[in-house]
Chain A
Amino acid sequence: NAGVTQTPKFQVLKTGQSMTLQCAQDMNHEYMSWYRQDPGMGLRLIHYSVGAGITDQGEVPNGYNVSRSTTEDFPLRLLSAAPSQTSVYFCASSTGQGAYYGYTFGSGTRLTVV
């Protein structure tokens, strides 16, 4: 049981480039979310999904795009990378009541935009 798998683990982008951070879970979880972690700011919610075909914005959605075509996958797209998007990104998933059971987190993607 792999849990939540994120790829890549590390990435360096140039300003203006686009890329997709991959997230896959094999637990048949309905809920999936993307967070970014910055020093002194904890984790902030970027986008989340309550099921295939349904996504919504979180606290800091600007510059990011998501889609949820399957239950298993929830990719995060950076449309035009900016230095302010340098961060560690975490994908998380949960059962139908994630706030009740808690989230399972991936190991993170460390992104640097130069």
Chain B
Amino acid sequence: AQSVTQPDIHITVSEGASLELRCNYSYGATPYLFWYVQSPGQGLQLLLKYFSGDTLVQGIKGFEAEFKRSQSSFNLRKPSVHWSDAAEYFCAVGDTGNQFYFGTGTSLTVIP
């Protein structure tokens, strides 16, 4: 069965520091992978997605993610975090049956 694991429940970083959020998935075929961000009291916004081709994908707000098939990972990165990046981040995998499976999320706190 498909599943997504986000090992870090909560991460705190200083503004200007680099960020990496971890995501591991379990899926039999080539997955469709997504990262969403949720600001407090808001819905989910798509940051980036991967479905084929270049394993390093660029998204909005300066985020990028790298697909590593050998590690079943799709980690999200940002070189320099801004205070406005404080939010909850969800990794998700989509299958060919149009179903989505979400991780439990990582809450990001940014220290000024």
Q: Chain A residues in contact with chain B, CB under 8 A?
A: 4, 31, 33, 35, 40-45, 48, 50, 90, 92, 94, 97-108
Contact between chains at B44 and A90 (CB < 8 Å): yes
Contact between chains at A98 and B98 (CB < 8 Å): yes
Contact between chains at B104 and A100 (CB < 8 Å): no
- Please list 6 pairs of residues, one from A and one from B, whose beta carbons are closer than 8 Å in the complex, sorted by A's number: A42-B103, A42-B105, A92-B44, A94-B98, A99-B97, A100-B51
**CB of B11 within 8 Å of the partner chain:** no
16 more CB-based (< 8 A) A-B contacts, given A42-B103, A43-B102, A108-B43:
A31-B98, A41-B104, A45-B100, A48-B98, A92-B44, A94-B98, A97-B98, A98-B94, A99-B32, A99-B96, A99-B98, A100-B94, A102-B34, A103-B44, A105-B44, A108-B41
User: In the complex, how many angstroms separate the beta carbon of B27 from the nearest chain A beta carbon?
Assistant: 11
**Partner among A42, A97, A104 whose Cβ is within 8 Å of the Cβ of B90:** A42
A50 CA / B97 CA spacing, docked (Å): 10
A42 CA / B101 CA spacing, docked (Å): 9
Contact between chains at A90 and B105 (CB < 8 Å): no
User: In the complex, how many angstroms separate the beta carbon of B30 from the nearest chain A beta carbon?
Assistant: 12
Contact between chains at A107 and B43 (CB < 8 Å): yes
**Chain A residues with Cβ under 8 A from B17's Cβ?**
none
User: In the complex, how many angstroms separate the beta carbon of B62 from the nearest chain A beta carbon?
Assistant: 19
**Chain A residues with Cβ under 8 A from B94's Cβ?**
98-100, 102
**Partner among B42, B49, B95 whose Cβ is within 8 Å of the Cβ of A102:** B49
